[in-house]
């Protein structure tokens, strides 16, 4: 779009919501053209609305001018979802942080979507509740970002993803129309379920401005188990046993043998020489029954005669010591490969070992180091290709390896993204998972919500073929 069109839009919005809510100089807008992916496109205009009505004003004006709008929280995503690949407007929600309603007696809170996840947890925690989605970036990421990507985190195995913990939404579609979806009750079947359609849509169907979140009481106590296994096959069998009995763990995290080797070489964490995999198993519940729960979980995690090393932490200090290996992994990866490729895929729990074996074969074939860790309880694996983007050979090999990773995941009845979203960087791969008929239906839904195609273009789905392209 032309510079003149951006300038005209900026003047209009300055009159309607205030010039102090706009940024137009290139030196400042440049910073809003990136996230944690390698993609960067600077917008022409950055807008900071402070409430739902101001978002309506921005979208209506942008729609009239046919200027694309990309919604952004804090830009913590890894898939390019908040990068304005066509320039245009970046709509930043980080001034929309109000708590609109908080009713502990109904186990709900209504918030604007610029609120930081950690701030939400602090607010509801004071009344004895928590909101289950807990991504690693929770100190920085916004509720809107969690909604856009259907974020999860380690506790999704017991408490569900974002989608299972939202009752209703308020949003703005691509023409500036207000959408009210969902209810403030845990039951409700009136109309179609637009709430769960908007969650995970990455800003391509609407800008979510407010959310009614379903809260969960904080558990009285927690315990942590750390278990080392000889290989991923033994660890995966333990995960299957853990998930096949009534005492559901709050979280099951795993680290594969390659990641453990990396820690041995680059950190001070003590790891047994014969360990080929590690599980971190969190258990929570009532104080009166926690010891019995831990016994059942420990029995399921153990595999007599297989050289399993299990430690149980009961105090916060003991738990902090056991978490040392898991928490040392991310900084170690940043030290070894600061610009690594990080993908998150999901396979059925029973097929994790087959995927890990295949990933090792792919790594060997392309001479690329691949380490894996993630949320074992639901098969969500973070696949890390330790490459240097400045090395053309490595990046060419990584491109081939990544395609093989995705093929392997789909061959195991998995899916290409569990919680990071599709964004811009992964969208061309999804036609491997979604049939043409289903894709056409999804693109039709996009046109209903956003007939002008201004909301976060070139994200989530491949661009539709132009009319007559098959002729």
Residue 344 is inside which H or E element, if any? strand 341-346
Task: Kindly tell me the sign of the dihedral angle through the C-alpha atoms of 447, 449, 455, 457.
Answer: negative
Q: Among the CATH numbers 3.40.50.12160, 3.30.70.2190, 3.30.43.10, 2.40.37.10, which is that of 221-323? A: 3.30.70.2190
Q: Please check whether residue 214 is in contact with residue 130, taking contact to mean a CB–CB distance below 8 angstroms.
A: no
pLDDT digits (tens, 9 = 90+) for 262-298: 999 988 888 999 999 999 999 999 999 999 999 999 9
> Domain 99-217: which topology?
3.30.465
In the Cβ-directed half-sphere of 467, how many Cα atoms lie within 13 Å? 0
Q: Give pLDDT, residue 339.
A: 84
Domains 221-323 and 329-411 share a fold: yes
Q: What tokens were used for 123?
A: 């607010």
Strands laid side by side in the 89-92 sheet: 22-23, 45-47, 89-92, 69-72
Distance, in Å, from the CA atom of 91 to the CA atom of 200, rounded to the nearest integer, reads 18
Percent of the chain clearing pLDDT 90 (strictly above): 83
Q: Is the pLDDT of residue 471 over 60?
A: no
pTM: 0.93
**Tokens 């046109």 identify what position?**
447
Q: Is the pLDDT of residue 173 over 80?
A: yes
Q: Which CATH class is domain 329-411?
A: alpha beta
Q: Is the pLDDT of residue 319 over 70?
A: yes
In this structure, the strands spanning 89-92 and 45-47 are: parallel
For the chain, what are the domain ranges? 99-217, 221-323, 329-411
Distance, in Å, from the CA atom of 368 to the CA atom of 358, rounded to the nearest integer, reads 13
pLDDT digits (tens, 9 = 90+) for 70-122: 999 999 998 999 999 999 999 999 999 999 999 999 999 999 999 999 999 99
Which residues in 435-451 are b (16+ Cβ under 10 Å) and which e?
eeeebeebeeebeebbe
């Amino acid at each position: 779009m032309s510079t003149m069109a951006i300038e005209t839009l900026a003047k209009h919005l300055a009159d309607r919501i205030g010039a102090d809510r706009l940024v137009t100089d290139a030196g400042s807008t440049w910073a809003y053209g990136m996230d944690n992916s390698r993609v960067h496109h600077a917008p022409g205009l950055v807008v900071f609305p402070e409430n739902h009505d101001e978002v309506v004003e921005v979208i209506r004006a942008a729609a009239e001018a046919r200027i694309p709008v990309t919604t952004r929280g804090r830009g913590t995503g890894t898939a390019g979802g908040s990068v304005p690949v066509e320039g245009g407007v970046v709509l930043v929600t980080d001034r929309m942080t109000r708590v609109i309603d908080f009713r502990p007696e109904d186990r709900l809170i209504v918030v604007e979507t610029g609120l930081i996840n950690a701030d939400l947890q602090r607010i509801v925690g004071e009344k004895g509740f928590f909101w289950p989605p807990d991504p690693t970036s929770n100190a920085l990421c916004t509720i809107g970002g969690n909604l856009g990507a259907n974020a999860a985190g380690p506790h999704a195995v017991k408490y569900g993803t974002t989608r299972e913990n939202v009752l209703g939404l308020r949003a703005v579609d691509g023409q500036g129309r207000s959408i009210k979806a969902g209810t403030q009750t845990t039951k409700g079947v009136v109309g179609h379920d637009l709430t769960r359609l908007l969650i995970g849509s990455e800003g391509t169907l609407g800008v979510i401005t407010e959310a009614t979140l379903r809260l969960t009481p904080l558990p009285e106590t927690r315990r942590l188990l750390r278990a080392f296994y000889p290989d991923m096959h033994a660890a995966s069998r333990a995960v299957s046993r853990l998930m096949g009995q009534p005492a559901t763990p709050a979280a099951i995290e795993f680290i594969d043998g390659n990641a453990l080797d990396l820690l041995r070489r680059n950190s001070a964490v003590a790891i047994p020489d014969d360990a080929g995999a590690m599980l971190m198993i969190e258990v929570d519940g009532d104080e009166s029954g926690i010891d019995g729960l831990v016994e059942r979980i420990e029995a399921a995690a153990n595999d007599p005669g297989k050289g399993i090393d299990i430690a149980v932490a009961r105090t916060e200090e003991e738990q902090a010591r056991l978490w040392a290996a898991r928490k040392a992994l991310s900084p170690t990866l940043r030290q070894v490969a600061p610009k690594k490729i990080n993908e998150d895929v999901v396979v059925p729990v029973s097929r994790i070992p087959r995927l890990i074996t295949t990933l090792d074969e792919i790594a060997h074939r392309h001479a690329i180091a691949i380490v894996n860790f993630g949320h074992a309880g639901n098969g969500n694996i973070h696949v890390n290709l330790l490459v240097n983007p400045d090395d053309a050979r490595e990046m060419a090999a990584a491109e081939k390896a990544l395609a093989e990773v995705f093929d392997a995941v789909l061959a195991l009845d998995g899916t290409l993204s569990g919680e990071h979203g599709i964004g811009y960087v992964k969208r061309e791969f999804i036609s491997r998972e979604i049939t043409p008929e289903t894709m056409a239906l999804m693109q039709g839904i996009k046109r209903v919500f956003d007939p002008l195609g201004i909301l976060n273009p070139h994200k989530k789905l491949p661009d539709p073929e132009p009319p007559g392209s098959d002729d």
